[in-house]
């Protein structure tokens, strides 16, 4: 088997690359180890807690015991299914802040500043969110990815936004447009009541062109001859074979599996590869380094009124929601329930938002286990720009072995200061008049948790990953020893090999990573095709005029 381009991974970026290359007339082959994304567990938005806890859809990876979180191992879900992690994520759509991408450019990712990436964000989307004065000029109207907003019919969604306003924060009609900072409606990759994953948006249309083929196989390593990637060795049906690439190999296997594949292929830190008896092709110490993620806590409040989703949190309620969704595509099943949100700054002198809120009208864990107290609601909150850095390394030279994942969460003193501020600022928001009819008491952490030490203990015991790993094969200048790919996504030191996924992010973006991962695939495709980039935008995003002196 061979094709012009062989892509490893059918996730957010890989599907976008496949769509653009196939659309340009090239023969493309996409390797995916996971199975079908059919069925209600994936396609019904409200069922989002199921797929990421099911071995059939998830790689089942875990971090090593985290020394600063009391030795806990944290789950690190990655999609092992058609559509990759876009088929098991929370469907939240956040581009990131303009400053994130300008920071990338400053770090050596030339051509990846906000002006450069905004046209790609616009190209990839069809936006259905124009309301309350939201400005459509920042958004796309003809891309494959449909972006919608939930109905926000539950009164708690508007209470959250109103409480933010009462606390003196900005409002924003579109955090993905001109102004990220503030409280407002949340956006999702949901269309006509279904999860609009990268598989639905990009891969299926690519397959329909006749130029793209999907192959179910486990990628073992990239085959490199005379310094050039010529194919991918895979295991399929119990046999090992090589799928040949006439032009290039593109790794889009996630920020966990992409560095693992690079190292198995001889690209990575020389000493580490030697430990595992892997022949060195290119000494790139940045492979597997620079691992970043978002950490968050769930702050939960008991509700005075029975307006939360708790009334459906039983067999009969869930069956009713599922049946309504199956027959009509509507109702509570058609939403991920993340319908309002906020981005705020934690302190004066912070240039742009560094705290994100996901509001949810039920008190429940990500794995679907409900709070003990019945009716309640919660926010997921955490700092966006932790200084902690971790790594992905090989456990062995066996491609079937899970890699060693060390996030090194909360290893910097500033992380603790920022997280404490998150907790205290959140309490102030829920103490506003807008929540007076609803807040009975704080379930978690609980009103007794007040001092720095008490809050730190709560964080140590309860902080969870937001599942946003990135940065393990970062983009940078070709002469930067820690860079893995150049600004055209080419692996430095190897011909015919690129990386297009969240591995290449030099620093983590503000918010969920699905949108910037798809943008990476879109932009990488233009680099691969060798055509000019989309013209840079001259749009100027909003920034708080008082950021140097005021927190809000």
Domains of the chain in sequence order: 1-150+211-289+470-531 (3.50.50.60), 151-185+295-383+411-462 (3.30.410.40)
Q: What is the pLDDT of residue 192?
A: 97
Q: Which of 248 and 134 is assigned the larger pLDDT?
A: 248
Q: What is the pLDDT of residue 384?
A: 98
What does the DSSP assignment read for 475-533?
A: B--TT-TT--B-TTSBBTT-BTEEE-SGGG-SS--SS-SHHHHHHHHHHHHHHHHTPPP
- Model confidence at 527, pLDDT cuts 50, 70, 90, reads very high
The mean per-residue pLDDT over the stretch 203-212 comes to 98
Q: What is the pLDDT of residues 444-454, one digit of tens each?
A: 999 999 999 99
Q: Percent of the chain beyond pLDDT 90? A: 95
Consult the annotation and say whether 287 binds a ligand: no
Consult the annotation and say whether 89 binds a ligand: yes
* Residue 93 to residue 39: CA distance in whole angstroms: 22
The mean per-residue pLDDT over the stretch 365-389 comes to 88
- Model confidence at 133, pLDDT cuts 50, 70, 90, reads confident
> Are the CB atoms for 5 and 245 separated by under 8 Å?
yes
* Residue 299 to residue 32: CA distance in whole angstroms: 37
Q: What is the pLDDT of residues 4-20, one digit of tens each?
A: 999 999 999 999 999 99
Q: What is the pLDDT of residue 207?
A: 98
For residue 282, give the 3-state DSSP assignment: strand
Q: What is the pLDDT of residue 26?
A: 98
Question: What region, left, alpha or beta, does residue 25 occupy, with left being phi > 0 and alpha being psi -120 to 50 degrees?
Answer: left
For residue 172, give the 3-state DSSP assignment: coil
- Which token pair is 250? 């593109």
Question: Which residues are identified as catalytic?
Answer: 468
Q: What is the pLDDT of residue 434?
A: 98
Above 80 in pLDDT, residue 365?
Answer: no
Q: How open is the CA angle 157-88-466, to the nearest 5 degrees?
A: 60
Q: What is the pLDDT of residue 366?
A: 65
Above 90 in pLDDT, residue 288?
Answer: yes
For residue 470, give the 3-state DSSP assignment: strand
* Residue 200 to residue 329: CA distance in whole angstroms: 16
Consult the annotation and say whether 381 binds a ligand: no
* Residue 197 to residue 337: CA distance in whole angstroms: 17
- Model confidence at 284, pLDDT cuts 50, 70, 90, reads very high
Residue with tokens 């055209």: 488
Q: What is the pLDDT of residues 66-116, one digit of tens each?
A: 999 999 999 999 999 999 999 999 999 999 999 999 999 999 999 999 999
> Are the CB atoms for 30 and 252 separated by under 8 Å?
no
- Model confidence at 373, pLDDT cuts 50, 70, 90, reads confident
* Residue 281 to residue 130: CA distance in whole angstroms: 51
Q: Percent of the chain beyond pLDDT 70? A: 99
Consult the annotation and say whether 314 binds a ligand: no
| Rg of the chain over all Cα atoms, to the nearest angstrom | 22
What is the average pLDDT score of the chain? 97
Above 80 in pLDDT, residue 541?
Answer: yes
Element (H, E) at 123: helix 114-124
* Residue 382 to residue 353: CA distance in whole angstroms: 11
How much is the pTM?
0.98
Q: Other CB atoms closer than 10 Å to residue 208's CB: what's the count?
A: 10
* 3-state SS track over 300-359: EEEECCCCCHHHHCCHHHHHHHHHHHHHHCCCHHHCCCCCEEEEECCCCCCCCCCEEEEE
Q: What is the pLDDT of residues 312-323, one digit of tens each?
A: 988 999 999 999
Q: What is the pLDDT of residue 109?
A: 98
Above 90 in pLDDT, residue 259?
Answer: yes
How distant, in Å, are the alpha carbons of 11, 102, 120, 286, 417 from that of 123?
18, 19, 5, 31, 39
* Residue 402 to residue 394: CA distance in whole angstroms: 8
Q: How open is the CA angle 388-267-412, to the nearest 5 degrees?
A: 5
Q: What is the pLDDT of residue 499?
A: 99
Cβ neighbours of residue 52 closer than 8 Å, sequence gap 6 or more: 58, 77, 88, 89, 366, 467
Q: What is the pLDDT of residue 228?
A: 98
What does the DSSP assignment read for 199-221?
A: IIIIIHHHHHTTSEEEEE-EEEE
Of 9, 85, 11, nearest to 48 (Cα)?
A: 85
The mean per-residue pLDDT over the stretch 498-526 comes to 98
Cβ neighbours of residue 290 closer than 8 Å, sequence gap 6 or more: 389, 391, 471, 472, 474, 482, 506
Consult the annotation and say whether 91 binds a ligand: yes
Above 70 in pLDDT, residue 170?
Answer: yes
* Residue 56 to residue 52: CA distance in whole angstroms: 9
* Residue 56 to residue 38: CA distance in whole angstroms: 12
- Which token pair is 180? 């990220």
The mean per-residue pLDDT over the stretch 506-528 comes to 98
- Model confidence at 368, pLDDT cuts 50, 70, 90, reads low
């Amino acid at each position: 088997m061979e094709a012009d381009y062989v892509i490893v991974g059918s996730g957010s970026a890989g599907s976008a690359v496949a769509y653009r290359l196939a659309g340009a007339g090239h023969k493309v082959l996409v390797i995916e180890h996971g199975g079908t994304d059919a069925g209600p567990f994936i396609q019904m938005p409200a069922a989002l807690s199921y797929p990421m806890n099911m071995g059939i859809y998830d790689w089942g990876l875990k971090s090593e015991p985290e020394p600063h979180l009391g030795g806990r191992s944290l789950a690190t879900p990655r999609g092992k299914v058609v559509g990759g992690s876009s088929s098991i994520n929370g469907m939240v759509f956040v581009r990131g802040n303009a400053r994130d991408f300008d920071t990338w450019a400053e770090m050596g990712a030339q051509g990846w500043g906000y002006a450069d990436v905004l046209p790609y964000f616009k190209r990839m989307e069809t936006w259905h969110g124009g309301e309350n004065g939201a400005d459509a000029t920042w958004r796309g109207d003809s891309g494959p990815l449909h972006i919608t907003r939930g109905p926000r019919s539950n009164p708690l969604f508007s209470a959250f936004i109103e409480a933010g306003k009462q606390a003196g924060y900005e409002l924003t009609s579109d955090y993905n447009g001109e102004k990220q900072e503030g409280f407002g409606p949340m956006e999702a990759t949901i269309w006509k009541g279904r999860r609009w994953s990268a598989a639905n948006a990009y891969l299926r249309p690519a397959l329909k062109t006749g130029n793209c083929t999907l192959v179910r196989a486990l990628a073992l390593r990239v085959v490199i001859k005379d310094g050039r990637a010529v194919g991918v060795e895979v295991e399929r049906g119990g046999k090992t074979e090589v799928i040949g690439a006439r032009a290039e190999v593109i790794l889009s296997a996630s920020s966990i599996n992409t560095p693992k594949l690079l190292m198995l292929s001889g690209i990575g830190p020389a000493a580490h590869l030697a430990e595992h008896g892997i022949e060195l092709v290119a000494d790139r110490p940045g492979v597997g380094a620079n691992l970043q993620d978002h950490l968050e806590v769930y702050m939960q409040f008991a509700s005075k009124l029975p307006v939360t989703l708790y009334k459906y949190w039983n067999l009969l309620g869930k069956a009713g929601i599922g049946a309504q969704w199956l027959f009509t595509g509507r109702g509570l099943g058609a939403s991920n329930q993340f319908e309002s949100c906020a981005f705020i700054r934690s302190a004066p002198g912070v240039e742009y938002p560094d705290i994100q809120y996901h509001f949810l009208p039920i008190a429940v864990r990500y794995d679907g286990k409900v709070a003990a107290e019945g009716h309640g609601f919660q926010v997921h909150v955490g700092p966006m720009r932790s200084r902690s850095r971790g790594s992905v390394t090989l456990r062995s030279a066996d491609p079937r072995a899970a890699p060693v994942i060390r996030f090194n969460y909360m290893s910097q003193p500033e992380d603790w200061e920022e997280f404490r501020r998150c907790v205290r600022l959140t309490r102030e928001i829920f103490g506003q008049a807008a929540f007076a009819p609803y807040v009975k008491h704080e379930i978690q952490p609980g009103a007794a948790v007040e001092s720095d030490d008490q809050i730190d203990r709560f964080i140590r015991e309860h902080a969870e990953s937001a599942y946003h790993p990135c940065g393990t094969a970062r983009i940078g200048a070709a002469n930067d020893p820690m860079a893995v790919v150049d600004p055209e996504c080419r692996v430095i030191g190897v011909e015919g090999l690129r990386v297009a996924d969240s591995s290449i992010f030099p620093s983590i973006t503000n918010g969920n990573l699905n949108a910037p991962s798809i943008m990476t695939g879109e932009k990488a495709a233009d680099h691969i095709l060798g055509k000019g980039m989309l013209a840079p935008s001259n749009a100027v995003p909003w920034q708080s005029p008082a950021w140097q002196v005021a927190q809000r």
